[in-house]
Amino acid sequence: MFFSEARKKRERIIALDLLRGTFLMVIFINHIAWSPTLFDFITGQSHLFASAAEGFFAISGILVGYIYAPRVLKKTKDTFIKLWKRAGWLYLLSISFTCLYSFITLFLPPETVRSQFLYPTFGEFALNTLTLQFSYGWADFLSRYALLMAFAPFAIWLVAKGKSLILAVISILVWLFLSQGPYSHFTAWQIIFYISVIIGYYLPTLEYNVQSLSKSTKKIAAAMLFTVTAITFTGSIILTVLLPIVAGEFKGLVTPDAYVVVLNLIDIRTHLDQTIFNRDTMAVGRLLIGMVWFTTLYILFRRHERLINKKTKGSLLLLGMNSLYVYGLQSVIIFTMDIFFDPPEGANIIVKTVVVALCLYLVYVLTYQRSFFKRIRQSIFSIWSRS
């Protein structure tokens, strides 16, 4: 059976934290400017048919629906205020990171970091930053979360009142008619978050219904799901990672005719990226593939959550349970590496893989020691307040 018995009490789902920790690692790997690495054959350099970023958004929506929707009718005011406080904190973090990184780039030579675009006047910069139209650095998700979380109380209220269909229709209409506008980073991505809110609310029921199916039905459904996932993921890796390597470093190992075929396939992949798998507009192909991949991962992680947590020594769980801290930390590390640690000329794939692995370990250590640093900070403030 895929799932344990449906719980009456909504306990923490370890699988979601494990998945969130996994997605954070993938996002971090894809953003580090030390590719190609061996990790690319799993992460796809953020150019697969669907990415960890969408999974990260989905989990956030699921948790909002799972945790807050059941309590919003009994504690409406408290729940609304709590989510709005969360949105306000995300907003402050977003503009703080943007201002900090933008200020630092003023003192850097051109091309020091991968993007140093600033508005021509301070007024324009301030307006676009404060209205979340501009975010800078590697923490751009924060601005999206801030706005999505601001509307989350209304979303969970609709769901709790049994009006999930209304929320779904509104979200789909926004996606259909506004996903290609100047605010697509909100209007396109919101469909993942709000549909996931609905899923999160009904998650115990969904798990119970799956558990109630016959063994043969579950085996057939699982086989079909896993097969589709394996084929599409493998195809995405081949088109995104393997073929560019063949067309580049190993060009001399293929015949001219084969090389033409490779280039044509790469062109097809580029066309797909710009159309049915477009990330900016969250195209329908990307949503469907993302749903299939996420469902497969959730089933696997849910079924083996204790084993996965044990084998990873609690590292994925730690990252997942401290997701906001980890996300902010990885943006600082990536920005710092852009300034001080460019990959040396001629560095091979093994060296780059080792560097990225060390960066991952650094994120883990700094997250593991978070409570230690917090105690030091509290001690310093305590001493300062008594003086």
Task: Give, to the nearest 10 degrees, the angle between helix 52-67 and helix 141-160.
Answer: 40
Report, as an integer, the average pLDDT of 300-324.
96
CB 155 within 8 A of CB 167: yes
* Confidence band, pLDDT 50/70/90 cuts, at residue 120: confident
Q: With CA atoms as reference, report the closest residue to 80 among 98, 56, 60, 64.
A: 64
CB 31 within 8 A of CB 334: yes
Instruction: Look up residue 59 and give its amino acid.
Output: I
- Is pLDDT at 380 greater than 70 in this prediction? no
Looking at 92-96, 151-155, 345-349, which range is the least confident one?
A: 345-349
The larger pLDDT score, comparing residue 45 to residue 234, is at: 234
User: 342: part of which helix (H) or strand (E)?
Assistant: none
Over residues 33-81, the pLDDT tens digits come to 898 899 999 999 888 999 999 999 999 999 999 999 999 999 999 999 9
Q: What pLDDT, on the 0 to 100 scale, is given for residue 316?
A: 97
Looking at 174-188, 247-261, 266-280, which range is the least confident one?
A: 247-261
Q: What pLDDT, on the 0 to 100 scale, is given for residue 95?
A: 96
SS3 for 58-76 is HHHHHHHHHHCHHHCCCCH
Half-sphere exposure of 49 (CA within 13 A, CB side): 26
Looking at 21-35, 42-56, 107-121, 226-240, which range is the least confident one?
A: 107-121
* Confidence band, pLDDT 50/70/90 cuts, at residue 248: confident
DSSP letter (8 states) at residue 180: T
Q: With CA atoms as reference, report the closest residue to 325 among 96, 193, 139.
A: 139
> How many angstroms separate the Cα of 86 from the Cα of each of 91, 228, 387?
9, 37, 33
* Confidence band, pLDDT 50/70/90 cuts, at residue 233: very high
DSSP letter (8 states) at residue 251: G
Q: What pLDDT, on the 0 to 100 scale, is given for residue 7?
A: 38
The larger pLDDT score, comparing residue 8 to residue 93, is at: 93
Cα separation, 28 vs 274, whole angstroms: 23
- Is pLDDT at 163 greater than 60 in this prediction? yes
User: How would you classify residue 3: left for phi > 0, otherwise alpha for psi between -120 and 50, otherwise beta?
Assistant: beta
Cα separation, 335 vs 342, whole angstroms: 11
Q: With CA atoms as reference, report the closest residue to 364 among 312, 288, 303, 302.
A: 312
- Is pLDDT at 1 greater than 50 in this prediction? no
Q: 3-class SS at 303?
A: helix
User: b or e along 322-343 (b: 16 or more beta carbons within 10 Å of the residue's beta carbon)?
Assistant: bbeebbbbbbbbbbebbeeeee
- Is pLDDT at 170 greater than 90 in this prediction? yes
> How many angstroms separate the Cα of 105 from the Cα of each of 28, 99, 156, 338?
21, 10, 40, 11
The larger pLDDT score, comparing residue 382 to residue 214, is at: 214
Q: What is the DSSP string of 311-371?
A: HTTTHHHHHHHTHHHHHHHHHHHHHHHHHH-PPPTT--HHHHHHHHHHHHHHHHHHHHTHH
- Is pLDDT at 88 greater than 80 in this prediction? yes
Sign of the CA dihedral with 238 first, then 223, 59, and 186 last: positive
Q: What pLDDT, on the 0 to 100 scale, is given for residue 2?
A: 39
The larger pLDDT score, comparing residue 145 to residue 118, is at: 145
Report, as an integer, the average pLDDT of 359-383.
77
Cα separation, 55 vs 22, whole angstroms: 10
Q: What pLDDT, on the 0 to 100 scale, is given for residue 252?
A: 79
Report, as an integer, the average pLDDT of 191-206.
97
Q: 3-class SS at 213?
A: coil
Cα separation, 330 vs 44, whole angstroms: 19
Sign of the CA dihedral with 231 first, then 234, 237, and 242 last: negative
Query: Encoding tokens for residue 24?
Result: 């954070």
* Confidence band, pLDDT 50/70/90 cuts, at residue 117: low
Report, as an integer, the average pLDDT of 247-262.
85
Q: What pLDDT, on the 0 to 100 scale, is given for residue 75?
A: 95
CA 386 to centroid of chain Cα atoms? 43
Q: What is the pTM of this model?
A: 0.91
> Residue holding tokens 């075929």?
261
